[in-house]
Amino acid sequence: MSRSHYSGEVNESVIGQRVALKGWVQKRRDLGGLIFVDVRDRSGIVQVVFNPKISERAAEIGEKLRNEFVVSIEGLVVARSDGQVNTSMKTGKVEVQVDHAAIINAAKNPPFAIEDNTDVSEDLRLKYRYLDLRRPAMFETFKMRSDITKSVRNFLDREGFLEVETPILTKSTPEGARDYLVPSRVHEGEFYALPQSPQLFKQMLMVSGFDKYYQIARCFRDEDLRADRQPEFTQIDMELSFQTMEDIIQLNERLMVQMMKDVKGLSIEPKFQRMSYKEAMDRFGSDKPDVRFGLELINVSDLVKDSAFKVFSGAVENGGQVKLINVKGVAANYSRKDIDALGEFAAVYGAKGLAWLKVEEEGVKGPIAKFFEGEASAALITRAEAEAGDLLLFVADSASVVADALGALRLKFGKELGLIDNSVYKFLWITDWPLFEYDDKAGRYFAAHHPFTMPFEEDLDKLETDPASVRAQAYDLVLNGYELGGGSSRIYRRDIQEKMFSVLGFSDEEAKEQFGFLMEAFEYGTPPHGGIAFGLDRLVMLLSGSTNLRDTIAFPKTASASDLLTNAPSPVSQAQLEELSLSAKEQNNQKVSD
Whether the CB-CB separation of 68 and 25 falls below 8 Å is answered with: yes
Flag whether 175 is marked binding: yes
CB of 545 vs a copy of itself, minimal distance in Å: 19
Any contact of residue 115 with a copy of itself (CB under 8 A)? no
CB of 540 vs a copy of itself, minimal distance in Å: 11
CB of 377 vs a copy of itself, minimal distance in Å: 55
Helix 508-521 vs helix 199-207: angle between axes, to the nearest 10 degrees? 40
User: Under DSSP, is residue 24 helix (H, G, I), strand (E, B) or coil?
Assistant: strand
In this chain, which of 29, 31, 53, 186 binds a copy of itself, going by CB under 8 A?
A: 186
Whether the CB-CB separation of 259 and 235 falls below 8 Å is answered with: no
Any contact of residue 90 with a copy of itself (CB under 8 A)? no
Which parts of 385-473 are beta strand (E)?
391-397, 427-431, 433-434, 436-439, 444-447, 471-472
Flag whether 179 is marked binding: no
Stretch binding a copy of itself (CB under 8 A), from 115-123, 469-477, 478-486, 526-534: 526-534
In this chain, which of 130, 254, 341, 468 binds a copy of itself, going by CB under 8 A?
A: 130
Any contact of residue 507 with a copy of itself (CB under 8 A)? no
Nearer to a copy of itself, 469 or 570 (CB): 570
| Cβ atoms within 10 Å, residue 140 | 13
**Residues between 558 and 577 that touch a copy of itself (CB under 8 A):** 560-563, 565-573, 576
**Residues between 247 and 266 that touch a copy of itself (CB under 8 A):** 247
Map residues 42-61 to x or -, x wherever contact with a copy of itself holds by CB under 8 A: x-------------------
**Residues between 197 and 226 that touch a copy of itself (CB under 8 A):** 200-201, 204-205, 207-211, 218, 220, 222
Any contact of residue 591 with a copy of itself (CB under 8 A)? yes
CB of 180 vs a copy of itself, minimal distance in Å: 5
Any contact of residue 446 with a copy of itself (CB under 8 A)? no
For residue 503, what is the enclosing H or E element? helix 494-503
Q: How many residues touch a copy of itself (CB under 8 A)? A: 124
CB of 308 vs a copy of itself, minimal distance in Å: 52
In this chain, which of 51, 118, 170, 400 binds a copy of itself, going by CB under 8 A?
A: 170
Closest residue by Cα to residue 185 from 579, 537, 589, 466: 579
Q: How many angstroms separate the CA atoms of 4 and 75, rounded? A: 11
Region at 211 (left for phi over 0; alpha for psi -120 to 50; beta for the rest): left
Whether the CB-CB separation of 297 and 410 falls below 8 Å is answered with: yes
Any contact of residue 181 with a copy of itself (CB under 8 A)? yes
CB-based burial label for 176 (10 Å; 0-12, 13-18, 19+): middle
CB of 219 vs a copy of itself, minimal distance in Å: 10
Flag whether 514 is marked binding: no
Q: How many angstroms separate the CA atoms of 355 and 324, rounded? A: 9
In this chain, which of 78, 85, 104, 424 binds a copy of itself, going by CB under 8 A?
A: 104
Flag whether 450 is marked binding: no
| Cβ atoms within 10 Å, residue 451 | 23
H helices within 197-289, ranges in order? 199-207, 245-264, 277-284
Nearer to a copy of itself, 47 or 203 (CB): 203
User: Under DSSP, is residue 210 helix (H, G, I), strand (E, B) or coil?
Assistant: coil
Nearer to a copy of itself, 150 or 254 (CB): 150
Nearer to a copy of itself, 219 or 364 (CB): 219
In this chain, which of 5, 8, 22, 356 binds a copy of itself, going by CB under 8 A?
A: 22
β-pairing, 44-50 with 34-41?
Answer: antiparallel
Q: How many angstroms separate the CA atoms of 396 and 324, rounded? A: 9
Any contact of residue 23 with a copy of itself (CB under 8 A)? yes
Whether the CB-CB separation of 128 and 181 falls below 8 Å is answered with: no
Any contact of residue 232 with a copy of itself (CB under 8 A)? yes
Any contact of residue 441 with a copy of itself (CB under 8 A)? no
Buried b (16+ CB within 10 A) or exposed e, 326-365: bbbebbeebeeeebeebbeebeebebeebbbbbbeeebbe
In this chain, which of 91, 97, 149, 313 binds a copy of itself, going by CB under 8 A?
A: 149
CB of 128 vs a copy of itself, minimal distance in Å: 8
Any contact of residue 142 with a copy of itself (CB under 8 A)? yes
Any contact of residue 538 with a copy of itself (CB under 8 A)? no
CB proximity list for 325: less than 8 A, separation 6 or greater? 295, 296, 297, 298, 392, 393, 406, 409, 410, 413
Question: Which positions make up the binding site?
Answer: 175, 221-223, 230, 449, 483, 490, 535-538
What residues are designated binding site for ATP? 221-223, 230, 483, 535-538
